[in-house]
């Protein structure tokens, strides 16, 4: 019984492929490539073609001439298995060739199909030439790959010589002349699939293994061990204490554990992954425990972390993370003025905590033994001495 709409007209059933079936077909097509050997089962043999099940939602098709003997008899029957080679991939079918076929075929035609459908095809890098590399494709066709298209970044061109990779043909002329290929285009397609799976399986704050591959002033680039994807650890996420350059914390080639912070796309649509090294540490934020370790009036042996024109930044714990400022005004009239002026990174320095601002994560330091400054030591409790500006004004008024 036919279905009718509200107007009484018959509804024509839509036999279009569902979205799920479309995705499955797309996945099947991506899992195959030209030149790949497959084994299938013959489903049917018609007047001109042979339909072959190769284990995917897209059936393989080959010419009936491929399996006809010289006597006119068929080499195979329906239900038998057959070894084939993929000649061409299209959205609706996969063109096959019987591996033992005596029928000649054109390698050039295969390359043209690879160009038309942007199908990855294997090539071997023969040598380095001006501006790129010479690549040998199937059928002894030589192609040119620009150096910018062999990889995302190239440091040693000679490392690619003799290697086999998958390429995308980006320029093609009839007869196999002036063929230009790109490995980077093929890598981009693979990267998109890997990124999609990574985002499905990885949640923010998840810990991952990584290797440091490049250092810049703004952070360290790492490559994830299990995914091969690259991302950035911003300078602020390398350590809890202040640093000027990533090399103060990590070195190229170091194996580290990072925390995944999140991802975003840049203006060109490329996915940018962000990680944290400091948050992957077992101790977490050192400031979270600072109130239990430091109190106003506490005398501490610290380490000079950085010297500025206005004072010294002093690390207050061996593992770093909590840093205080000893202003130059605290020692400029001291008898030990030269000693403070000559302090450098890594030197030990005894200081006293003058003020702590936990919200701003700032600690004002002074020189122990300054009798004009009140010192408080009430267990683990901190007592405020006012703002930093108040302290500086107070010190300046005393000198007048």
pLDDT in tens, 114-159: 787 777 888 899 999 999 999 998 877 889 999 999 998 888 899 9
Q: Measured between alpha carbons, how far is residue 323 from residues 111, 284, 309, 337, 362 in Å?
A: 63, 16, 17, 22, 7
Please state, as a whole number, how many other Cβ atoms lie within 10 Å of the Cβ of residue 137. Answer: 21
Question: What share of the chain has pLDDT > 90, as a percent?
Answer: 20
**Which tops the pLDDT comparison, 330 or 317?**
330
Query: Is the pLDDT assigned to residue 340 strictly greater than 80?
Result: yes
Between the alpha carbon of residue 325 and those of residues 27, 217, 356, 364, the distances in Å are 59, 23, 11, 5
Token output for 100: 């033992």
As a whole number, mean pLDDT of residues 237-260 equals 86
Alpha helices (H) in the chain, listed in sequence order: 19-31, 107-117, 183-201, 290-293, 337-341, 388-399
Percent of the chain at pLDDT above 70? Answer: 75
| pLDDT at 349 exceeding the cut of 60 | yes
Q: How far apart are CA 149 and CA 133, in angstroms?
A: 10
Place of tokens 């840049």: 266
> DSSP assignment of 302-345, as one string?
EEEEEEETTEEEEE-STT---EEEEEGGGTTTSTTHHHHHT--T
In the predicted model, is pLDDT for residue 17 greater than 60?
no
248 or 133: which leads in pLDDT: 133
Q: Is the separation of the CB atoms in 275 and 237 below 8 Å?
A: yes
Beta strand 164-173 with 177-182 is: antiparallel
Q: Given this model, what pLDDT does residue 105 score?
A: 45
pLDDT of residue 101: 63
Name the residue with higher pLDDT: 233 or 399: 233
Average pLDDT value for residue range 335-339: 82
Q: Taking Cα atoms as reference points, which of 211, 209, 217 lies closest to residue 252? A: 211
What does the block give as tokens for 222? 């790492």
CA dist., res. 383 & res. 354, Å (int): 9
Phi-psi region of 321 (alpha: psi -120 to 50; beta: other; left: phi over 0): left
Token pair for 165: 């990779």
Specify burial of residue 336 (Cβ count, 10 A radius: 0-12, 13-18, 19+): exposed
Domains and CATH numbers, the chain: 30-104 (2.40.50.140), 110-187 (2.40.50.140), 202-280 (2.40.50.140), 287-399 (2.40.50.140)
Q: For residue 212, which of 259, 239, 250 has the smallest C-alpha distance?
A: 250
CA dist 374 and 251 (Å) reads 44
């Amino acid at each position: 019984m036919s279905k009718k709409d509200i107007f009484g007209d018959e509804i024509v059933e839509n036999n279009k492929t569902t979205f799920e079936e479309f995705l499955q077909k797309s996945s099947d097509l991506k899992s195959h490539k030209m030149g790949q050997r497959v084994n299938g089962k013959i489903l049917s043999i018609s007047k001109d073609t042979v339909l072959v099940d190769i284990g995917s939602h897209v059936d393989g098709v080959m010419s009936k001439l491929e399996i006809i003997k010289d006597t006119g008899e068929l080499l195979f029957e329906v239900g038998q298995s057959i070894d084939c080679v993929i000649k061409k991939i299209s959205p609706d079918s996969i063109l096959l060739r019987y591996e033992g076929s005596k029928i000649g075929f054109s390698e050039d035609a295969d390359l043209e199909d690879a160009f038309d459908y942007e199908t990855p095809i294997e090539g071997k890098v023969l040598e380095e030439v001006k501006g790129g590399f010479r690549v040998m494709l199937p059928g002894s066709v030589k192609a040119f790959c620009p150096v910018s298209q062999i990889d995302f970044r190239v440091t040693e061109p000679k490392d690619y010589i003799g290697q086999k990779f998958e390429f995308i043909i980006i320029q093609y002329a009839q007869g196999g002349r002036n063929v230009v290929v790109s490995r980077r285009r093929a890598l981009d397609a693979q990267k998109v699939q890997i990124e999609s799976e990574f985002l499905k399986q990885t949640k923010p704050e998840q810990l991952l293994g990584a290797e440091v591959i490049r250092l810049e002033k703004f952070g360290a680039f790492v490559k994830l061990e299990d995914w091969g994807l690259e991302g950035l650890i911003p300078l602020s996420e390398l350590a809890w204490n202040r640093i000027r350059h990533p090399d103060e914390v990590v070195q190229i080639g170091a194996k580290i554990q990072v925390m995944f912070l999140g991802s975003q796309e840049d203006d060109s649509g490329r996915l940018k992954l962000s990680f944290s090294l400091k948050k992957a540490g077992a101790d977490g934020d050192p400031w979270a425990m600072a109130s239990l370790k430091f109190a106003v009036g506490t005398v501490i042996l610290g380490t000079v972390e950085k010297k500025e024109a206005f004072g010294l930044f002093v690390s207050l714990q061996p593992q770093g993370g909590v840093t205080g400022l000893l202003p130059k005004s605290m020692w400029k009239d001291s008898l030990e003025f030269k000693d403070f002026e000559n302090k450098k990174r890594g030197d030990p320095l005894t200081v006293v905590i003058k003020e702590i601002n936990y919200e701003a994560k700032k600690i004002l330091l002074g020189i122990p033994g300054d009798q004009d400054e009140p010192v408080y030591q009430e267990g683990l409790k901190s007592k405020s001495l006012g703002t930093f500006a108040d302290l500086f004004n107070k010190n300046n008024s005393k000198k007048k």
